[in-house]
Amino acid sequence: MKWRRPLHGRPWITNAILALLGLGLLALTKQLIVEFHHFTIGFSGVAGWSVILFALAAATILTLPTNRFTLPIILGFGIAFRLVTLLPEPIMSSDIYRYAWDGVVQHEHISPYRYVPGDPALSFLRVPNRDLFEHINRRDYAHTIYPPVAQFLFYGITWINASVTFMKLVMILFEGLTVYALIELLQALGRRREDILLYAWCPLLVWEIGSSGHLDSAAMAFIALALLARIRRQTIKTGLFLGAAILIKFYPLVLLPALWQRREFKMPSMIVALAIFSYACYASVGRLVFGFLGGYVQEEGIETGSRYFLLELTRKLPGLHNASTFLYLAFLVAGFAALAFWSWRAANTEPASQQTQFWLRIFRLPKTGAFLPGTLFLAFAMMLVFSPHYPWYLAWLIPFGVLMPNLPLFTYALGFFYLSATSLGAGTIESQYRLNSILYAVLLLAFLLEWMVRAGYRRWIVPRQRLA
């Protein structure tokens, strides 16, 4: 089934509109760097206008015709946005300094999990790497939290160059790998390559990957490669790529049910084998190999439940002020188990069930993409119930939005991106609750609007097309 949309107008008009919007986004990207040192319109102003221009560009590429010049325009601007952010130091997050520090420590044949950066045992590394050490957050009490495959990457990157700029460059190159995999997937799904604009121009990614150099870029690249391998029915590669993504950032583990083919155990076996091998490389430190994971659970309010917006909202209701965190988590486990089972069945039932066919029609996917709705629902649901505090945690949702464009996903990701740039992004419990109250209310409206538009399309447009 081809992706069909109302394509009216001439391609040169599309290209002209995209060029103007691209120039506007490029100017805003430069303004972001200016805001680091001199307040003009503020981060919220840059973020807000970036979201507006991106929305206009997305509407353009999804509704107007293209030609052979459109994709180079899209990719050219996407590269330009990131080059603008490459050289300036990261301001909005200092995580990248820990990436480089972990690599430097490993080059001294010391496990990055053994010592906190401020430990006297590593004092000899401070002077030659002062720029890194002085910017590390939690350096006096937090062991590194990054899993083994992430540490492999840190080692390899810093073996070439231990600077933050080079680390950012590699994360941008991982984005190039994601773009390649997504373009291949778009073509396999009968979609246009130019829809990659939804990824390449996304301001959330420009800020969090291009400017801050977050490790999520590497995780996204391996997730995209896993999806590509799955649609090509390359079982071993699917397991290898998904395993690498999981061992860079743990959250891609939720995608396993949707990617697991019936009666096929090579894929999960690859994940297990990679986990055993990678953790064995750092096993000399014992339990310290899990790093700051336990401290993160406490620091982020995961144990108390204060980080879960839906739980906090429930506790605002009469008679539910003492709603149990354990019961909330138990409910989530049961819900995810049901969703995981549905995702697995949807991807492996031949012929597709009525529910699966419904979602294939909704997202206009061919039968070979039957596993994709499950990946979207699992990833989206995890973020909704987890309610992360930092916008880069939502970056991995964008590739699913490219493959299955939908208003709720981009409303959630870009809404959080914008609100985090306002005073609501102060990081306090009160401000985070207000931020999520606004975000989830707008998200509910987006779900309703999406449903109304798709219902109207099925009721009015499709019958007329059949009559014609």
* pLDDT one-digit tens code per residue, 252-274: 999 999 999 988 899 999 999 99
Q: From CA 457, how far away is CA 452, in angstroms rounded? A: 8
Q: Answer whether residue 6 is part of any domain.
A: no
Its pTM stands at 0.94
The rounded mean pLDDT for the chain is 91
Mapping DSSP to helix (H, G, I), strand (E, B) and coil, where does residue 282 land? coil
**pLDDT by residue (tens digit) across 216-246?**
999 999 999 999 999 999 999 999 999 999 9
Most confident of 59-73, 280-294, 454-468: 59-73
Q: Answer whether residue 4 is part of any domain.
A: no
Look at residues 350, 394, 351, 352 and name the one whose alpha carbon lies nearest to residue 373.
Answer: 352
Q: Answer whether residue 356 is part of any domain.
A: yes
Q: From CA 366, how far away is CA 1, in angstroms rounded? A: 5
Q: Evaluate whether 99 touches 166 at the Cβ level (below 8 Å).
A: no
Using pLDDT thresholds of 50, 70 and 90, give the confidence band for residue 402. very high
Q: From CA 449, how far away is CA 308, in angstroms rounded? A: 26
Work out the number of other CB atoms within 10 angstroms of the CB of residue 187: 11
20 has pLDDT over 50: yes
Question: How many C-alpha atoms does 378 have within 13 Å on its Cβ side?
Answer: 25
360 has pLDDT over 80: yes
pLDDT at 3: 42
**Least confident window among 89-98, 276-285, 368-377, 448-457:** 448-457
Q: Evaluate whether 271 touches 244 at the Cβ level (below 8 Å).
A: no
Q: Answer whether residue 413 is part of any domain.
A: yes
Q: Answer whether residue 5 is part of any domain.
A: no
pLDDT at 268: 95
pLDDT at 1: 36
Q: Answer whether residue 177 is part of any domain.
A: yes
CA-CA-CA-CA torsion sign (204, 209, 213, 218): positive
| Cα 28-29-33 angle, rounded to 5 deg | 110
Q: From CA 135, how far away is CA 115, in angstroms rounded? A: 17
305 has pLDDT over 90: no
pLDDT at 354: 85
Using pLDDT thresholds of 50, 70 and 90, give the confidence band for residue 4. very low
Question: Average of pLDDT values for 301-317?
Answer: 80
467 has pLDDT over 60: no
**Least confident window among 246-250, 364-368, 378-382:** 364-368
Q: From CA 211, how far away is CA 171, in angstroms rounded? A: 10
Buried-exposed string 128-163: b where 16+ CB fall within 10 A, e elsewhere: ebeebbebbebbeebbbbbbbbbbbbbbebbeeebe
* CA dist list (Å): 252 to 39, 137, 376: 37, 25, 11
Look at residues 388, 351, 346, 353 and name the one whose alpha carbon lies nearest to residue 370.
Answer: 346
Q: Answer whether residue 420 is part of any domain.
A: yes
pLDDT > 90: what percent of the chain? Answer: 78
Work out the number of other CB atoms within 10 angstroms of the CB of residue 326: 9
Number of structural domains (the chain) is 1
- Angle, to 10 degrees, between the axis of helix 216-231 and the axis of helix 164-188? 20
Using pLDDT thresholds of 50, 70 and 90, give the confidence band for residue 165. very high
Residues in the chain: 468
pLDDT at 428: 84
Q: Evaluate whether 137 touches 101 at the Cβ level (below 8 Å).
A: no
pLDDT at 5: 52
DSSP state for residue 94 in the 8-state scheme: -
- Of the chain, the end-to-end C-alpha distance in Å amounts to 19
Question: How many C-alpha atoms does 238 have within 13 Å on its Cβ side?
Answer: 23
pLDDT at 107: 96
Q: Answer whether residue 3 is part of any domain.
A: no
26 has pLDDT over 80: yes
Which domain does 76 fall in, by range? 11-467
Token pair listed for 290 = 């899990």
pLDDT at 221: 98
Question: Average of pLDDT values for 335-354?
Answer: 90
**Look-up: residue for tokens 């992004």?**
425
Helix and strand totals (H; E) in the chain: 22, 0
**pLDDT by residue (tens digit) across 127-153?**
999 999 999 999 999 899 999 999 999
Token pair listed for 402 = 């490219």
Q: Evaluate whether 58 touches 2 at the Cβ level (below 8 Å).
A: no
The radius of gyration of the chain from alpha carbons, rounded to an integer in Å, stands at 22
Look at residues 225, 85, 112, 103 and name the one whose alpha carbon lies nearest to residue 153.
Answer: 103
2 has pLDDT over 50: no
**pLDDT by residue (tens digit) across 35-91?**
998 999 999 999 999 999 999 999 999 999 999 999 999 999 999 999 999 999 998
Q: From CA 183, how far away is CA 179, in angstroms rounded? A: 6
Question: Average of pLDDT values for 2-17?
Answer: 74
Q: From CA 177, how far away is CA 376, in angstroms rounded? A: 20
**pLDDT by residue (tens digit) across 109-121?**
999 999 999 999 9
Token pair listed for 374 = 């499950």
Question: Average of pLDDT values for 356-385?
Answer: 93
